[in-house]
Every structure is written in structure tokens, then in C-alpha cells.
């Protein structure tokens, strides 16, 4: 028998190295993750503290994301990269390691605005908007949620009525990412034939975007109220293949998938920050990292991060193979965001007083994840989605 030589032992490992998750990725997927991480580290992280503190996100970033190739990267044709789902997920993870606002921008652009056009639009609509959205020369947003209808979008009050060959839209949408940056909005409205989708250029008379200020979360992101006051659109503005509530919900499922990976980026960055701090911070003449309670926290957080990563990759492989079911995405979004938020909060405790400053990322990530926990379906709704899958009974009402 031939003896097997064990690999040389390292002094320390990064959290996900203990799970050896890179082994589960192919070379292209690793290259995409590395490219996005380098962009985040060099172009975004040096500015994120300023953007978060001033509650701004430059519209010019859209073109930078376009050059990076992450806008609609999982879509085919029309200038889109056509990558697999796992590659898109990894890009989301690296973006959210910078800030949830970056991943939100890319997710709304690609998985909501562009996906709605790609899946439900006419060929003319696709050719008009998708190439420009892919390069970031145009920005999109997605208007579904209303002030009184978040978890129950079927109750929306926004109305589209026929007037000759035109459509006239009236209503209000709320909590719309990219709203004040957008050149086109995908707006969902009630019609005499049920819920339908419309592409609304934001310079259309009667369309107004009002930025929401005084946010405690997602400050490096633009969040808006959309007001439609007798917005007149030609018949060609309707998304011809979008019929009923299933259309916007399928778009949300695409965005939720990105969150399954993205939330882990915030958790990983928080954990890496806490480990580095604990190794350099001395308490009672020893490194903070040498105490048993510190190592317990770091070990428990690493276990949850790794489990979340294994779940994300598994769901991505399912999505690439035969398509992932909505309740499976609910499993991933519920678990990974919940655990990511717990990790960010716990990392803040290891930083002590320093953890409340913008110099360190965990509390910023925790604040952002409070929004991620709510949008694209609250934890309660995902629990009920999973419960329905298990029992066959809908408990939503």
C-alpha cells in the first residue's frame, strides 16, 4: 500500500476554507467571483462609508456595473452575459460583501426590471431596453409593492384603464429600489382582465419618483415612492406575456435567489472583519481571539456561514439543472438572511465600542440585513410558503 501524504497544515483558515466550498465551483465560477470581489475591494469599499453616511449612491455606478458585466448576467441575448445561476449568485455574494445596497442595485436591475422584460416583453420592448439596461446606460426599477399592500400584492390599488387604444395608470408604489435613478419602471396594475405589467418611461407626464429619506438601513441605496397620476401610455407599453399575479411573483423569485447568496456576502465580510479585529485587539495582555468565549462565537458563526453556503450552491445547481421551486428559494432566503443577520450582530459584539463606528462593517451590514430580512418576502411569508409545501394548506389568510 502507498502512504498518502497529508497536505501541509495552515496556521489559520478563512471561514469558508474550512468547508472547502471552492471545490464545488468550476473555474469560470471562481474567476467570476474573484473578478467581482476585486472590483468591490478596489472601487466600492473605499467609498461605501461615505455613501452610507451621506445616504447616496451615484447613478454613474450603473455604467460601472455594466462594464463589470453583472447587469442581467444570468439572462441570454440582448447584450447579456448568459452565465449560469451559480455564477450570478456568487456575484451577488461578492457585491453584498461590500454592501447590501450594491447587490440590491444589481438585483433590481437584472432580476426584476430586466427579467420582467426578458420573460414577458415583446421583441420590440426587449430590443429597446435590454441592451441599454445591460450596459447601465439605462436604469430600471420594479413597481409592485404599495403603501398598504406588501405581503399581499393581489390587493394592489394601482389601476390601469383603457382609453381608446391607450392605457391610463393611476396609483402609488412604495419602497422601490432605484426609483429616483430609473429611466424605465416596470409597473404592475389592476385591469378589467386582472393584473398586468407596463413599461413606464420615467419622463412620462404624470410619473413622479419621490426619494425616501431618513432611512436607518440600506443608506447606500436609493429607495423611492412612485406616484402615477393619469399616466398615459400607448398599447405597446403593456408587457404582452404577463398575465396575472404569477408574472410579478416569478420576477420576485429571481431576486430572492440572488439574496440567498448575497446575504452570505454580508455575513462573510462581518466574520472576516471580526476575526481580524480579535487577532489584533489585546485584552488582559492577550489577543481577544485567544479567549474561549471569542473562539466559541467565531466557530459557531463559521458553521452557520458554511451551512448557508452549501445550501446556496445546492439551490443554484438545482436552478441550473431543472429549475428551482419557489418554496426551495424560500428555504434559502429564510435561512441565509436570518443567519447572516445573527452573524453580523454577533460580530459587532466582538468589536466592542469600535463596532458602532463606520470604520468597521458588521453593524452597517446588520442594519442593511434588517431590510433584506423584509423585502422580497418577509420571514413570516417564507415560513408560510414552506408550511404550505409541507401540509398542502395555505395559512396566508
Give the CATH number of the domain where residue 229 resides.
2.40.110.10
Q: Which of 192, 226, 243 delimits the end of a domain? A: 243
Whether 29 and 114 share a structural domain:
yes
Whether 200 and 81 share a structural domain:
no
The answer to whether position 396 is within a domain reads: no
The answer to whether position 110 is within a domain reads: yes
The answer to whether position 33 is within a domain reads: yes
Whether 175 and 300 share a structural domain:
no
Whether 342 and 378 share a structural domain:
yes
The answer to whether position 262 is within a domain reads: yes
Q: How far apart are CA 112 and CA 252, in angstroms?
A: 7
Q: Which of 135, 161, 182 delimits the end of a domain? A: 135
Quote the cell numbers at residue 26: 468550476
Whether 259 and 379 share a structural domain:
yes
Whether 257 and 202 share a structural domain:
no
Whether 265 and 369 share a structural domain:
yes
Whether 163 and 293 share a structural domain:
no
Whether 357 and 286 share a structural domain:
yes
| Confidence class for position 338, pLDDT limits 50, 70, 90 | very high
- Residue tagged active-site, from 272, 327, 376, 380: 376
Q: Which of 74, 106, 135 delimits the end of a domain? A: 135
Res 4 pLDDT > 70: no
The answer to whether position 386 is within a domain reads: yes
Q: What domain range includes position 69?
A: 15-135
Q: How many domains does the chain have?
A: 3
Distances 290 to 12, 217, 298, 391 between C-alpha atoms, Å? 13, 33, 11, 47
Average pLDDT over residues 311-330: 96
The answer to whether position 8 is within a domain reads: no
The answer to whether position 3 is within a domain reads: no
| CATH code for the domain of 311 | 1.20.140.10
Whether 32 and 83 share a structural domain:
yes
Ramachandran category for residue 39: left, alpha or beta (phi over 0 → left; psi -120 to 50 → alpha): alpha
Q: 212, exposed or middle or buried, with CB in 10 Å at 0-12, 13-18, 19+? A: middle
**DSSP structural state of residue 90:** H
| CATH code for the domain of 84 | 1.10.540.10
* pLDDT > 70 fraction of the chain, expressed in percent and rounded: 97
Active site residue 376: yes
Residue 150: the pLDDT is 84
The answer to whether position 10 is within a domain reads: no
Whether 189 and 176 share a structural domain:
yes
Residue 151: the pLDDT is 87
> Are the CB atoms for 272 and 347 separated by under 8 Å?
no
Whether 117 and 40 share a structural domain:
yes
Mean per-residue pLDDT of the chain: 95
Q: What digits encode the pLDDT tens for the residues 245-285?
A: 999 999 999 999 999 999 999 999 999 999 999 999 999 99
Q: What digits encode the pLDDT tens for the residues 185-243?
A: 999 999 999 999 999 999 999 999 999 999 999 999 999 999 999 999 999 999 999 99
Res 23 pLDDT > 60: yes
Amino acid at each position: 500500500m502507498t502512504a498518502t501524504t497529508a497536505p501541509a497544515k495552515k496556521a489559520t483558515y478563512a471561514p469558508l476554507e474550512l468547508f472547502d466550498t471552492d471545490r464545488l465551483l468550476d473555474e469560470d465560477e471562481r474567476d467570476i467571483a474573484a473578478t467581482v470581489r476585486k472590483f468591490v475591494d478596489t472601487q466600492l469599499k473605499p467609498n461605501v462609508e461615505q455613501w452610507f453616511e451621506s445616504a447616496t449612491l451615484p447613478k454613474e455606478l450603473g455604467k460601472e456595473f455594466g462594464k463589470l458585466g453583472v447587469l442581467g448576467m444570468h439572462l441570454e441575448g440582448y447584450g447579456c452575459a448568459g452565465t449560469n445561476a451559480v455564477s450570478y449568485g456568487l456575484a451577488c455574494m461578492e457585491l453584498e460583501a461590500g454592501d447590501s445596497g450594491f447587490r440590491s442595485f444589481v438585483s433590481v436591475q437584472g432580476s426584476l426590471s430586466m427579467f420582467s422584460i426578458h420573460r414577458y416583453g415583446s421583441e420590440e420592448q426587449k430590443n429597446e431596453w435590454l441592451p441599454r439596461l445591460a450596459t447601465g446606460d439605462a436604469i430600471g426599477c420594479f413597481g409592485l409593492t404599495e403603501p398598504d399592500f406588501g405581503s399581499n400584492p393581489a390587493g394592489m390599488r394601482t389601476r390601469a384603464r383603457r382609453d381608446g387604444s391607450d392605457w391610463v395608470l393611476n396609483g402609488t408604489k412604495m419602497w422601490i429600489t432605484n426609483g429616483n435613478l430609473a429611466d424605465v419602471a416596470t409597473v404592475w396594475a389592476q385591469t378589467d382582465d386582472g393584473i398586468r405589467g407596463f413599461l413606464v418611461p420615467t419622463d412620462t407626464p404624470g410619473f413622479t419618483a419621490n426619494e425616501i429619506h431618513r432611512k436607518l438601513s440600506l443608506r447606500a441605496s436609493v429607495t423611492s415612492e412612485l406616484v402615477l397620476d393619469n399616466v398615459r401610455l400607448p398599447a405597446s407599453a403593456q408587457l404582452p406575456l404577463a398575465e396575472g399575479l404569477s408574472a410579478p411573483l416569478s420576477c420576485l423569485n429571481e431576486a430572492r435567489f440572488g439574496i440567498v447568496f448575497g446575504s452570505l456576502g454580508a455575513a462573510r465580510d462581518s466574520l472576516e472583519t471580526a476575526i481580524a479585529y480579535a487577532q489584533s485587539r489585546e485584552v488582559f495582555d492577550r489577543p481577544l481571539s485567544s479567549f474561549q468565549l471569542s473562539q466559541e462565537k467565531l466557530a459557531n458563526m463559521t458553521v452557520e456561514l458554511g451551512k448557508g453556503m452549501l445550501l446556496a450552491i445546492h439551490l443554484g445547481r438545482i436552478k441550473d439543472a431543472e429549475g428551482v421551486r419557489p418554496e426551495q428559494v424560500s428555504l434559502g432566503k429564510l435561512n441565509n438572511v436570518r443567519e447572516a443577520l445573527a452573524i453580523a450582530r454577533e460580530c459587532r459584539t466582538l468589536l466592542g465600542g469600535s463596532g458602532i463606528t463606520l470604520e468597521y462593517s458588521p453593524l452597517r451590514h446588520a442594519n442593511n440585513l434588517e431590510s433584506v430580512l423584509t423585502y422580497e418576502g418577509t420571514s413570516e411569508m417564507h415560513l408560510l410558503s414552506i408550511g404550505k409545501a409541507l401540509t398542502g394548506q395555505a395559512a396566508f389568510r
